Amino acid sequence: MNEPHDIPAQTVFNLNQAAVNGIRASGATSQLILVEGTSYTGAWTWTTSSGNSAVFGAIKDPNNNVAIEMHQYLDSDGSGTSATCVSSTIGAERLQAATQWLQANNLKGFLGEIGAGSNADCISAVQGAFCSMQQSGVWLGALWWAAGPWWGTYYQSIEPPSGPAIAEILPQAMMPFL
């Protein structure tokens, strides 16, 4: 389920736990399973308004190969609809509480969506997010939103050869972490 919303965190947790149990019962024992919380699985709301932090610490996998997938955009409302970032430090700031929660619950995280504009503040914010993730020891990685030929001139596209973000975000904010 991608970005569940308007569903109580406990219900989303129950669905995720049932999925983990079913996947393992089917014989799939070596695969990483990503689970998402409610409220669009936002990292910045993970420990505050979503209710996710109250329930997802109890996720169980007999193979200990599950990670919490979160999403994070760096514009004012966290939606990824604006190319303007809140500040040059917002990336690390928005991940801080979620990172501390992952550490406290001995869980791994995966940033399944991150995106920002191609300006100086956003480049610094993305660098800060990736740096904080790398230093934390709990994040497995991240995926940029968006790529693929269907995005055209969408401001977050890193689609070669000329996605709007490919000239700035990719070399300056992403390549140092690959």
Instruction: Report the catalytic residues.
Output: 3, 113
DSSP string, 101-146: HHHHTT-EEEEEEEE--SSHHHHHHHHHHHHHHHHHS-EEEEEES-
DSSP string, 12-53: HHHHHHHHHHHHHHTT--SS-EEEE-SGGGBGGGTTTTS-HH
Q: How far are the Cα atoms of 20, 29, 67, 149 from residue 25, in angstroms, in the given order?
A: 8, 8, 18, 38
SS3 71: strand
The residue type of 28 is A
